[in-house]
């Protein structure tokens, strides 16, 4: 594999005159170790991003074995990043909600370069090789900066890329840890034989590469740094790194992808089921109780209805002619078929005379005090009213007689101080009434009575 950068130039949109990288050409082969040094802002990171196809060069080409990477569709560029390049960034770049081994396995799972089992086996292997076998299940938040960086190294290598780009991978680490990481990278580079580009501002580190370049204001120049070859072994066992640790047996345990997720879902479902069952049980209980209350209430209403409708009889007792169109009405209420007392709030009585097809109300007033207030009905209670019935053009169902309706509304209760148990009963009494200004002879001309025509004739309820 050869990755060839040809006259790469990168200008950023907001400053078109200024180029972060200017006409850089570089060839990278498998197994090579190249270092690039330069001061901050010299364009090193931009060059690395272009080499990894993370940003499009403004000018120039990036050729992978002769194919221009930027002429490919984005999906194939993603495949290029997945299979050909490993990237180590200058900042902690682990996904904080995944464990170390999950982080390492992510690129393999995303790129579908291998089966999940294989990916995890390799991830455990790599974790062991960077000396973190016992931290495989730790979360990034609980790891030191050096440990996180080593996980990032393992992650960059999961897909066995032919090229590893490390952009100041140790920038925020102390000197010893920095050396540890670079030692590790160099050792891995030798065993895995990937092409390795190390960007650093540390000349000492840069010297360890076979080829060294210096980046200055966007341009790349070869340097003749004397190479340091034999230095890496100055510390026999670097602290913290236990190279080639065998992976623990647990690492070979079957992989359970998304185990945490399913665990969470299970907990959630169990909690939801418990709450649901509790609510359901409470609901059933409340429903039973309420149904009982509704039945009780219905029974009470039925009893009240029986009391008000069947045990209380009411009708017109008499109508007397007071002359000049004035009449006196006497109605009665009577308790029948039981001993319990019945209390009635005085009827609100109204009188109507039929005119044509409509009922015309005529003035009616109570004639005595008994017609107001609450009365206990033990035997028979009478109510007297006076009303005027001087109506013209009344309907004559019987010749020369008015058709009169008395409507009474009363509240009935079994107790004198009703507490919700009140029934509203409506009564209609119908009578024929002889008008005051029609002489008996006139009536008798069309109707036959045994004596004088009566003042009123009761009608059956209708």
- Residues at the contact surface with other proteins, assessed by CB under 8 A: 46, 49, 52, 54-56, 74-75, 78-83, 87, 89, 93, 95, 106-107, 110-111, 155, 159, 272, 279, 283, 286-287, 290, 293-294, 297-298, 301
**Residue 268: other Cβ atoms inside 10 A:** 10
Q: Which is nearer to other proteins, 112 or 452 (CB)?
A: 112
| Ramachandran bin of 168, using left for φ above 0, alpha for ψ from -120 to 50, beta for the remaining angles | left
Q: Which is nearer to other proteins, 82 or 99 (CB)?
A: 82
| Nearest distance, CB of residue 312 and other proteins, angstroms | 21
| Nearest distance, CB of residue 272 and other proteins, angstroms | 8
Alpha-carbon distance 70 to 411, whole Å? 93
SS3 content of the chain, % helix, strand, coil (to 5): 35, 30, 35
| Nearest distance, CB of residue 227 and other proteins, angstroms | 30
Q: Which is nearer to other proteins, 87 or 213 (CB)?
A: 87
- Spatial contact of 296 and 290, defined as CB atoms under 8 Å apart: no
Q: Which is nearer to other proteins, 65 or 74 (CB)?
A: 74
| Nearest distance, CB of residue 275 and other proteins, angstroms | 8
| Ramachandran bin of 40, using left for φ above 0, alpha for ψ from -120 to 50, beta for the remaining angles | beta
Beta carbons within 8 Å of 153's beta carbon, 6+ residues apart = 88, 130, 169, 181, 184, 185, 188
| Nearest distance, CB of residue 401 and other proteins, angstroms | 35
- Spatial contact of 51 and 197, defined as CB atoms under 8 Å apart: yes
- Spatial contact of 123 and 115, defined as CB atoms under 8 Å apart: no
| Nearest distance, CB of residue 442 and other proteins, angstroms | 45
Q: Which is nearer to other proteins, 99 or 400 (CB)?
A: 99
Q: Which is nearer to other proteins, 39 or 293 (CB)?
A: 293
Nearest to 57 by CA among 46, 45, 42: 46
| Nearest distance, CB of residue 81 and other proteins, angstroms | 4
Nearest to 382 by CA among 397, 393, 371: 371
Q: Which is nearer to other proteins, 26 or 152 (CB)?
A: 152
Tokens of 126: 């790599």
Q: Which is nearer to other proteins, 85 or 132 (CB)?
A: 85
Is residue 404 classed as helix, strand or coil in its secondary structure? strand
Alpha-carbon distance 125 to 267, whole Å? 32
Alpha helices for 68-208 (secondary structure H): 74-84, 100-111, 116-129, 145-157, 175-192, 203-206
Q: Which is nearer to other proteins, 274 or 374 (CB)?
A: 274
Alpha-carbon distance 29 to 65, whole Å? 10
| Nearest distance, CB of residue 373 and other proteins, angstroms | 28
Q: Which is nearer to other proteins, 84 or 208 (CB)?
A: 84
Q: Which residue has the tokens 């039981």?
A: 338
- Spatial contact of 47 and 38, defined as CB atoms under 8 Å apart: no
Alpha-carbon distance 237 to 164, whole Å? 25
Alpha-carbon distance 145 to 46, whole Å? 24
| Nearest distance, CB of residue 459 and other proteins, angstroms | 29
| Nearest distance, CB of residue 356 and other proteins, angstroms | 26
């Amino acid at each position: 594999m050869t990755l060839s950068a040809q006259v790469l130039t990168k200008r950023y949109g907001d400053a078109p005159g200024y180029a972060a990288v200017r006409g850089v050409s570089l060839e990278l082969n498998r197994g090579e170790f190249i270092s690039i040094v330069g001061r901050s802002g010299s364009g090193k990171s931009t060059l690395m991003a272009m080499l990894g196809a993370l940003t499009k060069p403004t000018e120039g080409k990036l050729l992978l074995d002769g194919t221009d990477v930027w002429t490919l569709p984005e999906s194939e560029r993603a495949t290029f990043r997945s299979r050909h390049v490993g990237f180590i960034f200058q900042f902690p770049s682990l996904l904080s909600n995944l464990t170390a081994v999950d982080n390492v396995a992510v690129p393999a799972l995303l790129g579908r370069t291998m089966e999940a089992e294989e990916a995890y086996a390799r991830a455990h292997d790599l974790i062991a090789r960077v000396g973190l076998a016992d931290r495989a299940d730790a979360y990034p938040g609980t790891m030191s900066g050096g440990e996180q960086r080593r996980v990032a190294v393992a992650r960059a290598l999961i897909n066995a890329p032919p090229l590893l780009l490390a952009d100041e991978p140790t920038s925020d680490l102390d000197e010893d840890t920095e050396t540890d990481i670079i030692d590790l990278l160099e050792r891995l580079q030798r065993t895995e034989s990937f092409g390795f580009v190390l960007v650093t501002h540390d000349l000492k580190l840069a010297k360890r590469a076979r080829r060294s370049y210096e980046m200055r204001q966007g341009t790349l120049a070869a340097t003749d740094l004397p190479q340091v070859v034999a230095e890496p072994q100055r510390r026999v066992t670097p602290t913290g790194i236990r190279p080639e640790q065998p992976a623990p047996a647990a690492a070979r345990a079957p992989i359970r992808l998304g185990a945490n997720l399913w665990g969470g879902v299970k907990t959630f479902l169990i909690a939801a089921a418990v709450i649901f069952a509790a609510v359901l049980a409470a609901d059933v209980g409340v429903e039973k109780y309420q149904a009982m209350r509704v039945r009780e209430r219905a029974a009470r209403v039925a009893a009240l209805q029986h009391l008000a409708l069947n045990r209380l009889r009411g009708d017109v007792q008499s109508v007397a002619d007071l002359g000049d169109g004035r009449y006196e009405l006497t109605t009665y209420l009577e308790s029948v078929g039981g001993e319990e007392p019945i209390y009635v709030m005085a009827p609100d009585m109204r009188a109507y005379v039929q005119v044509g097809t409509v009922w015309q109300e005529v003035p009616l007033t109570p004639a005595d005090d008994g017609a107001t207030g609450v009365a206990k009905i033990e035997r028979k209670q009478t109510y007297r009213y006076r009303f005027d019935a001087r109506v013209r053009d009344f309907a004559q169902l019987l010749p020369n007689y008015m058709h009169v309706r008395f409507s009474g509304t009363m509240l009935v209760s079994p107790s004198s101080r009703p507490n919700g148990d009140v029934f509203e009963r409506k009564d209609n009494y119908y009578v024929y009434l002889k008008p005051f200004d029609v002489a008996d002879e006139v009536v008798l001309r069309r109707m036959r009575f045994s004596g004088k025509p009566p003042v009123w004739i009761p009608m059956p309820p209708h």
